[in-house]
Structure 1
């Protein structure tokens, strides 16, 4: 199989299609009424949704997130509902956390409910909408009062009264926080530039690996010698070599530019790679092709005519000729660079800043490829220190082939999660990786050979070291099959809940926790320990991600278990409070909200004390209400661990 251009086309198209990708209320509501006849009306509820957030529909399967729901005062007495609520068109995708198809709205949603009047004197209707909205970092669980005017007048929400009991219960929700100024600090500490630098570094690492392959490495001394010997003088040779390197970077950067000119992109497309079953299966097939090309069973190349044309154009001389020389290198080295670049970018890009991340990653990759040409032109004596081309480069390609094969099964695992086939449970997936890396260790020890391997006379130190490292990784993977958290592989194996053996627990990870603030506070005072206040939700996707991917890391788990009293307050808990605990709460806006469920109580508690309504949301504080640090939300392991550690040390 000499050419696999169709595979390349599919690969580039699928990668690039996936890389396209506030304060205030995330969802705002407006109402209107359409008169059908003297006794028939249609109530219209319109939701305006902030960009990158989505609102769930009214029909969500049991066990999923909170559906949008409407209640209307006077139903059955003053009017009756005709049929079900009719919704505008929604998006439907599979959710890995809830393991079900979920429907949601972006930007805007319209709900319509037909009614028939039973009371001809009725001129207005009061209603309430309860809903959940999420972005890729957090969720909110909220409600809003609705008012409908049937006589053409202004619709005004009827305010509830705050009696003495409500005033007393409302006052109990308010905390006398110390160090409250910490709430004004950024709770995310998220630096987009730092994120782009990380992607650049990943791309740079991939470029360094590509340099060691037989497609690129032999070109370094040949190209540098060409510039230094055929440019007339050393200064011009150095200039041309540096220009050659700059053009290499430019060529790779140009691949990402079209995506910066697309004005309107559906944010959810950036998540398709983890939710679309056929795309993940396609990636599995493509990466298996890449792997076996690295194993030497066939050559994966672009059409030879492309390289010939670019090579001919490079003879034009001057700046134009140097540009086409760089383009020739990019084309002829594709069989080695394409799979590496594709693997790194697909594995590292997130739903944030897709086009910028693509540019950062590709720039890092191109920069790593270009750097040796400039450096060796500046310091030609360094060429003597380069190792000779030889069989070691074939070994590098085969090792890359095993890594590509492992990554391929990651995509197949994604498809399995999406379709819920139940084939690649966590233990099965890890077992496949055990086989792959065990075979890699055997290859490095010389027990397995591939088509383009030459005679192996002796094992070098680096090869033996890599073989031992691979064998140790196999042991590490085996430990994961038997319950180890595998923090080094966070996000790669299927999540802990997708396991052959599942465990039920009232608290995350079996930790000791409280679901009532007053009970947890009393325990913290009795044991003189700081509090981790966890605002969460039963239907909060990112809350589960934090618990599974961050809390489960041993050093974080130990902090939670040993140094804190965990109080988890579920703001979407629909269980009703006892009658004597229900009350009306007046918000700062003047709106009076009826607190009748556990979730409404804790959502209000979060809003009035911490001025936020998103989850996950974490506070560390002493039992005396002294904040020990700025709030945290969806975070990486190291940031979260350092935050917990700093808080615990400050009270010792």
Structure 2
């Protein structure tokens, strides 16, 4: 039966798209409890009746991948109610690996149920909002973005007879797939027709029947944390906690704290409680950060000049502090108050001892914690919490273990100059990291302050100084005098100075593939021997000047366009397919693909000779003339910048918002083959290009 249904969809869908706008999903909304009192919490239920052969995506997202578009239910705030918690998927959520996103996605078939709890604040509450979702076919993954307003009225704030509140759907604007293949995906912006009375009756009956038998399954948020990237992030956080232990703000405290617990009755369980409080305080920090996270917040943090300059300033100041220029400490009054409360004894006293440790160690752990929180700013709820849990676990474990086994203290190295050495090296690394934030803002806003050769020069000097420091050729405040260097420092000097030697050829254009994701793009370098040599051998010069060519440049001397309409017109002129590169200034994986894959001769020759190249930067902040502004059919927002319009094009036309995202299209802008995302396998990328050329 499923195969037969799929066959019917394949046969009829291409014809149906010429007659009407597809709308495979119909929504109904109601309050589970038809009557309530002011102050009571009630549940709202949103049901998506989905046609056979289609699915939508859960409201929960996989933090390891960018895209697909999840189901987002937004509420318009008013004084008659307030939200309690967030939207939850209630019906079955399937996990499916999708090659286009290179990871697991969470999809739902009919009926897809979502739940949101609200607290009633006044009589006759008016509940309004908007549903943003994406419907895709099960057969080939072709997708249709959907957007629908909803209004729920009639909730009785009194003890009256039960009624069900249902609302007819309003016309929605959607981007429509005209065929269920990757060959002819066309964006349409026509209002979807309303559901007929017969269809609505059938959908309601179907929904009611399935709802009655469908067990509720609450999807735990922790499932989104599974996977290699999350585990690697937590491992990095744990190792960061171990590094923090070796700083002079923390290490000397260990013996004193452990001695305090071993001299008390029940010292071991109190030490366990002390460690648990340390972890709890840091997890609380991660929880607070997660509440402010979101896709918009992540985009703001990663591309806007304000947070990037703020992070640059913070890491720069902390770096100078670690080097010994000055000391950063929290106000003594705050620390003294916490310390005074720690002397009260009991559980409260142990908590304030842990809180005092966190405050006292702030000058050393602050930048490390900040780095972890910045790394987790991707809209996830669980990632910053788990990151803080991993960091604080490494931070708290030694206190607990040494309290349980006090004899181990005899094997603990004594405090001394080595602790300050650790702090100094961290100071240099903070300065190097600060430059990365400045570089992102510089690229997005085209300031031209930190081109590739300037960035590399600063890194070469910083890491050379670290190498000289390991060799004892450089002494800073608070360093103790040493008569010789240890073998360990000698090995660290060899590793650091070898890294410096590796970076030096980059000043003349060496690709430095191992650092490609962290350095400014090669196109920002004024003197590049590789680009000059390649440009001298280029026989495929463009016959017209690319629009925005003064702002953007392709890597490796390649020539192409940065405006969609111009690239389409040029492709018709030269009769070639178009290679679209959705990229970004702050996209680490984009730079890595350019350095490791695009640079391969087999890929270079194909890009140069077989395609019109179009690079579209989705995070560029260059504002366009007002005459070029338009209101998006996707989110109804005015798109004023180059980046905003490119991002909107990627979502509405290609149903994706990940970068890098590579599309091969014909002269009309229709997909030739399935798009490709981040994949460092050159053979795969060559096959992708060849398949598109053959299809063209």
Scaled by the length of structure 2, what TM-score is found?
0.51
The count of corresponding residues between Structure 1 and Structure 2 is: 415
**Helix, strand or coil at the partner of 2:428:** helix
Tell whether the 8 Å contact from 1:52 to 1:106 is kept in structure 2 after alignment. no
Pair 509,222 (structure 1): closer, same or farther in 2 beyond 3 Å: same
1:633 CA displacement: 4.2
* 1:549 has 2:549 as partner: no
Find the counterpart in structure 1 of residue 278 from structure 2. Answer: 248
Find the counterpart in structure 1 of residue 347 from structure 2. Answer: 319
Tell whether the 8 Å contact from 1:51 to 1:106 is kept in structure 2 after alignment. no
1:429 CA displacement: 0.5
Find the counterpart in structure 2 of residue 299 from structure 1. Answer: 327
* 1:207 has 2:241 as partner: yes
Find the counterpart in structure 1 of residue 356 from structure 2. Answer: 328
2:580 to 531, 537, 540: 537
Counterparts of residues 639-650 of structure 1 (less than 5 Å)? 640=681
1:367 CA displacement: 0.9
Find the counterpart in structure 2 of residue 437 from structure 1. Answer: 463
Find the counterpart in structure 2 of residue 267 from structure 1. Answer: 295
1:245 CA displacement: 1.1
Find the counterpart in structure 2 of residue 225 from structure 1. Answer: 259
Find the counterpart in structure 1 of residue 635 from structure 2. Answer: none
Find the counterpart in structure 2 of residue 195 from structure 1. Answer: 229
Find the counterpart in structure 2 of residue 386 from structure 1. Answer: 412
1:100-146 C-alpha deviation (Å, 9 max, x unpaired): xxxxx99799xxxxxxxxxxxxxxxxxx99999xxxxxxx9842164
Query: In 2, Cα distance between the equivalents of 1:309 and 1:344?
Result: 28
Query: In 2, Cα distance between the equivalents of 1:543 and 1:247?
Result: 37
Tell whether the 8 Å contact from 2:247 to 2:422 is kept in structure 1 after alignment. yes
* 1:143 has 2:187 as partner: yes
Structure 1 residues not aligned, in runs of 5+ = 1-24, 31-48, 54-104, 110-127, 133-139, 155-189, 514-533, 575-609, 620-629, 648-652
1:256 CA displacement: 2.2
Query: In 2, Cα distance between the equivalents of 1:299 and 1:612?
Result: 47
Find the counterpart in structure 2 of residue 448 from structure 1. Answer: 474
Structure 2 residues not aligned, in runs of 5+ = 1-16, 24-67, 73-144, 150-172, 178-183, 197-223, 542-553, 560-576, 617-653, 664-672, 689-696
Query: In 2, Cα distance between the equivalents of 1:499 and 1:297?
Result: 33
Find the counterpart in structure 2 of residue 376 from structure 1. Answer: 402
Find the counterpart in structure 2 of residue 468 from structure 1. Answer: 494
1:379 CA displacement: 3.0
1:313-356 C-alpha deviation (Å, 9 max, x unpaired): 1122222221111111000111111122213432x335352x32
Query: In 1, Cα distance between the equivalents of 2:342 and 2:588?
Result: 51
Query: In 1, Cα distance between the equivalents of 2:276 and 2:687?
Result: 44
Tell whether the 8 Å contact from 1:227 to 1:237 is kept in structure 2 after alignment. yes
Pair 611,313 (structure 1): closer, same or farther in 2 beyond 3 Å: closer
1:211 CA displacement: 0.4
* 1:216 has 2:221 as partner: no
1:217 CA displacement: 0.7
1:481 CA displacement: 2.1
1:443-501 C-alpha deviation (Å, 9 max, x unpaired): 22222221211222221122222222221111111122233332332422112222224
1:166-212 C-alpha deviation (Å, 9 max, x unpaired): xxxxxxxxxxxxxxxxxxxxxxxx97543322221221121111100
Tell whether the 8 Å contact from 1:292 to 1:298 is kept in structure 2 after alignment. yes
1:615 CA displacement: 8.4
Find the counterpart in structure 2 of residue 497 from structure 1. Answer: 523
* 1:349 has 2:396 as partner: no
**Helix, strand or coil at the partner of 2:402:** helix
Pair 560,147 (structure 1): closer, same or farther in 2 beyond 3 Å: same
1:565 CA displacement: 11
Query: In 1, Cα distance between the equivalents of 2:503 and 2:363?
Result: 30
> Relative contact order (C-alpha < 8 Å, sep 6+): which is higher?
1
1:394 CA displacement: 0.5
1:383 CA displacement: 1.9
**Helix, strand or coil at the partner of 2:187:** strand
Tell whether the 8 Å contact from 2:581 to 2:660 is kept in structure 1 after alignment. no
Scaled by the length of structure 1, what TM-score is found?
0.54
1:53-90 C-alpha deviation (Å, 9 max, x unpaired): 9xxxxxxxxxxxxxxxxxxxxxxxxxxxxxxxxxxxxx
How large is the Cα RMSD of the aligned pairs? 4.9
1:572 CA displacement: 7.8
Query: In 1, Cα distance between the equivalents of 2:344 and 2:466?
Result: 45
* 1:427 has 2:478 as partner: no
**Helix, strand or coil at the partner of 1:537:** strand
1:257-295 C-alpha deviation (Å, 9 max, x unpaired): 234556xx7622212233222332222222221011111
